[in-house]
Structure 1
Amino acid sequence: MSRSAVWHPFTQHATEPAPPTIVRTEGAYVETREGKRILDAISSWWVITHGHRHPKIVEAIREATETLDQVIFAGLSHEPAERLASALVDMAPASLDWVFFSDSGSTSVEVALKMALGFHRNSGAPRSRIVVMEHSYHGDTIGTM
């Protein structure tokens, strides 16, 4: 394959070589199509706790997708999400009555920023400043960057 059509985040496309193509993952390793095993030291960001393709997680996904795969929360809901949200609210301090499900840390921070700014605007005390920690990573959405 010539140049990849995928836009790879955090990559200088003009100077970086084409990234290796991964064909298999297991535990803490990824494997290239040439058979080279690479320790996934950053755990592809999203599998750090359990590694790639953990059998219990794979089975839970397989079982869940027998009846549900993805349901958008814009005007819809589903029982597993309702049960989890209720359990989280029960564990949270009083007055924390809502749960927002996000697909990544970046979008969770982005939504938290929008919620905070919206809260102050709707309370009649609009604010526009956001405090961040210098040289830290907050995500790759526009607000978090």
Structure 2
Amino acid sequence: MHPLLTPNAIYAALYWRADGKYHWAFIVAESPVSGKKLHATNLEDPATWRYASDEFDVSTEWKPLVILAQIGVAPQGTSCVDCLLCTIPMATPVCDSPHPFTCRIWFREAVRVLNGQGMVTCRAINALEKELTMLGDENGNSVALGRPWKLHTDVESVVL
């Protein structure tokens, strides 16, 4: 059985990739077992990034989810978060230069946007990224071996 989600919670989601890196996304819970996955993706065309808002269900998620870590709350629900994140440009912000654009760079900018709206209270984006990567690394090998993802509600880099 999968851990239950908190409705209206905003989760950082890290997905295992074969190259040892992670796909970075957000899950905004709409029920204890479902919600929306909000992320930047280039799966359809590796040369073109686009914003995606996909249905998420803990029992049918097909990608190898490694962790979900609660980082905030969306008091007005998923649609408010979706409206904010869909406007983020698919380009590296100046503060993240010279890194090339990826889902991780988009995630960092999305945290800044959510932080500015009071839905996330992030102490430092670099510390959050490091902490999430560490949590992912701790569970990544287990997921690669077929074990379940982990839910974290005690992320030190954010204030809930």
Which TM-score band applies after superposition, normalised by the shorter structure? under 0.3
Larger proportion of strand: 2
Q: Name which structure has the greater RCO, CA cutoff 8 Å, separation 6+.
A: 2
Largest Rg, 1 or 2: 1
TM-score by length of 1: 0.25
TM-score by length of 2: 0.23
